[in-house]
Chains A and B, each alone.
Chain A
Amino acid sequence: MAARLSSFFRGIGKGFRHFFMYFIQGDLPTKLSYLIMGAGCFLRGQIVKGLLYLAVQAGYILYLVNFGAAYVAKLDTLGDVTQTKEFDPALGFSVIKPGDNSMLILLYGVFSLLLGVVVLVLYLRNIKEAWENQQTIASGGRLPGLRDDVRELFNRRFHVTVLSVPTVLTILFTVVPLIFMILMAFTNYNREHQPPGNLFTWVGTENFSQALWGNPLWSRTFLKLFLWTMVWAFFATFLNYIFGILLALLINQKGVKGKKFWRTVFITTVAVPQFVSLLLISKFLHDQGALNNILQNLGIIDSPMPFLSNGTVAKVTVIIVNLWVGIPYTMLISSGVLMNIPEDLYEASKIDGASGAKQFFNITMPYMLQVTTPYLITQFVGNINNFNVIYLLTAGDPKSLSLYQAGETDLLVTWLYKLTVNEQNYALASTIGIFIFVICAVVSLLTYNRSKAVQEEDRFQ
């Protein structure tokens, strides 16, 4: 890591050196391309490419002047003119006089800056290209024409062609929104500061300290939901994993007929969309639902069992129902891996007199753990973010007065959702989102590094 960092900074240093060196040693077209993008190209005959560079520069300047600059300039305060109502004597009633819109300032500001980064990269490329062109001419070479450049895009620089559309879409629909939301965690964008009526502004790390210790209600909710999220992720991941493998072993046994049939039966349940199956189960387990009605009719219980309406019971219920979702899935994934376990390991242990359980814990599980650790990590992180199961089964309920806008079975991620959609507390929601990110990143890093160490042992090779 340190080596990578130092090489990164050395790279930047080298870039700066080149930046000045090219200017000092450059001829007129090269020098000119520091001011006018593409000069080093069109002055040397690469007309189209040079004009494209020029268009980028002109386009960005036009964009800034007509639109972007106004927003970038207000980024430091996120606007200071509040929207007001003024009486218009000519019309005879009050009209809204628009003020600044903090949200649009932040959004367009981020967008303009990011666009600026892209233009900057192109600008540096334009300089480097001008310099390379100069060198090529000095050594008597021929500059690549438009046709050569296009041909290169389908061969040596094919990755540029291939990745251009995915990159643009990812930046627009993932990077910009994420930066926007991350910055929002440092503002006071909530119901009381809702644009366009009101302004919101920067508050530093206020939200983080409030959520961790400053606001007792928030910090209690955060801590409780965090613990439950981890408990949930642990059980949801490992119970599903172990029972899924057991089910796969059961079906894979020698002499079991209709393996394909059994597998299909269980896979069917994975295939049914979750919003159908889980919503149905939640209605089935409801206090007035079919299960309680039937049990009462049969006289087994007198009053409805609170499967989903008592905090503790509901937590157990969601973990159990999640087994219904997860076991077939693990079975599906692990069947193939199980068949790769070398048969002689089992046979040797059988001769040594190992029981089935011993084989399971000493051969099957170690092998599976080693091969499927990346899968387990993804599952664990996926369960931390498992919105569907919780939201569809309980919607986080039963509600609790001791929690801020959350219920007993809410995970951090469903709390985040509720905070945005019901409460419009975007600032706190973004803060929670960053916490979730940190949790996921820590879990992945810790386990991933460990799993690599395990892999190097090559126990089964």
Chain B
Amino acid sequence: MKKKENRNAIATYIVLGIMSLVWLFPIVWLVLQSFRETPAGAFTKHLLPDTYTAENYTKLFTDTTLFNYPRWFRNTLIVAIASCIVSTVIVLLTAYAFSRLRFKARKPMMNVILVLGMFPGFMSMIAIYHILKAFGLVQSLFSLVLVYSGGAAMGYYVAKGFFDTIPRSIDEAALIDGATKNQVFWKISLPLSKPVIIYTVLQSFIAPWVDFIFVSVIMKDNYNNYTIALGLYQMLTRENITKYFTQFCAGAVLIAIPITLLFIFMQKYYVGGVTAGGAKG
């Protein structure tokens, strides 16, 4: 019996080992390519670089005539912080209202959001562009913040799933003691909701770093207001890929590291959120 278990364990480790090699391979390759010296193109003949250099990284910050990496980084950071604040507030308010408050329009509003969510997001992209244009906001970072946080209310599910798990009796006790609903929200519900607040903050903070579609529609050719994702994406177009592939890798490594760390940090909130939100709808 013991022997069989041992053999089982070894087989498991072998399978897991091989799988993790396969899964980590693209990431390791990315890091290796980011240090490759020559040639800079994507279509290398060898798996491992012949010679290593840190030049791809330094060039990102010094050679900014065509690809202004530091500027894009700054843009993304500004947009991410602003839209993260707005989105978090909106998501928490919406989720709280639908979860803890009872009013006539509650069910209809939730149904409307459910239906709206079934339309593909790209469908409204062009219309949003024209609306922003009508307000004279196109190609600005502010419009990007509006785009990322304007639809935030639609993603209330995870936070609502969390609010649903807080016992209602706590609210009721406070209301009987004479607290207003406003006080219940600030003094009772919010302090209990740290996990879901962290989750929402991180989620909305990450979004601008990885989107390259909406930003390309909004910014068009205004290179100065590009975000990291769109900028890096531009490095791999047919004209640029042979010259900038290794720089793309370097730039990608630099933003992948913080995002990966944030994600690993928030994974437990993430799982709780997705399953709780899913089970309770």
Tell me the A residues contacting B by CB distance below 8 Å.
103-104, 107-108, 151, 154-156, 158-159, 161-163, 165-167, 169-170, 172-178, 180-181, 247, 250-251, 253, 255-256, 262, 264-277, 279-281, 283-284, 286, 288-290, 293-294, 297, 324, 328, 332-333, 335-337, 371-372, 374-375, 378, 381, 385, 387, 413, 416-417, 420-421, 426, 429-430, 433-434, 436-437, 440-441, 444
Give the residue name and chain of the A residue nearest to B148 (CB). Answer: A173
- Given contact pairs A280-B30, A293-B43, a sample of 16 additional A-B residue pairs in the complex whose CB atoms are under 8 Å apart: A107-B131, A159-B97, A166-B93, A167-B109, A170-B116, A172-B150, A268-B260, A271-B256, A272-B256, A283-B245, A332-B270, A333-B271, A337-B275, A371-B279, A417-B122, A420-B125
Question: Could you write out 15 A-B pairs with CB less than 8 Å apart?
Answer: A104-B134, A107-B130, A158-B181, A159-B101, A169-B150, A177-B125, A178-B119, A178-B127, A251-B16, A262-B20, A271-B256, A273-B229, A275-B233, A297-B45, A336-B275
Give the residue name and chain of the B residue nearest to A256 (CB). Answer: B12
How many residues in B have their beta carbons less than 8 Å from beta carbons of A? Answer: 91
Give the distance in Å from the alpha carbon of A250 to the alpha carbon of B259 in the complex: 27
Give the distance in Å from the alpha carbon of A434 to the alpha carbon of B116 in the complex: 11
Choice from B22, B26, B128 contacting A280 with Cβ under 8 Å: B26
Contacts of A336 in B (CB 8 A): 271-272, 275
> Closest Cβ of chain A: how far from B114's Cβ, in Å?
8
Contact B120 A416 (CB under 8 A): yes
> Closest Cβ of chain B: how far from A18's Cβ, in Å?
16
Contacts A275-B210, A333-B274 given: A293-B26 contact, CB under 8 Å? Answer: no
- Stretch from B60-68, B151-159, B162-170, B190-198 forming part of the interface with A: B151-159
> Closest Cβ of chain A: how far from B216's Cβ, in Å?
8
Contacts of B12 in A (CB 8 A): 250, 253, 256
Enumerate B123-148 residues with CB–CB distance to A below 8 Å: 123-128, 130-131, 134, 146-147
Judged by DSSP, the binding face of B is helix
Q: Is B57 interfacial (CB 8 A cutoff)? A: no
Contact B264 A279 (CB under 8 A): no
Contacts of B58 in A (CB 8 A): none
Contacts A163-B93, A336-B271, A387-B213 given: A107-B26 contact, CB under 8 Å? Answer: no
Contacts of B115 in A (CB 8 A): 441
Give the distance in Å from the alpha carbon of A437 to the alpha carbon of B119 in the complex: 5
Contact B126 A255 (CB under 8 A): no
Q: Is B182 interfacial (CB 8 A cutoff)? A: yes
Contact A162 B93 (CB under 8 A): yes
User: Per-residue CB proximity of B197-232 to A under 8 Å, as 1/0?
Assistant: 000000000000110110001000000000001001
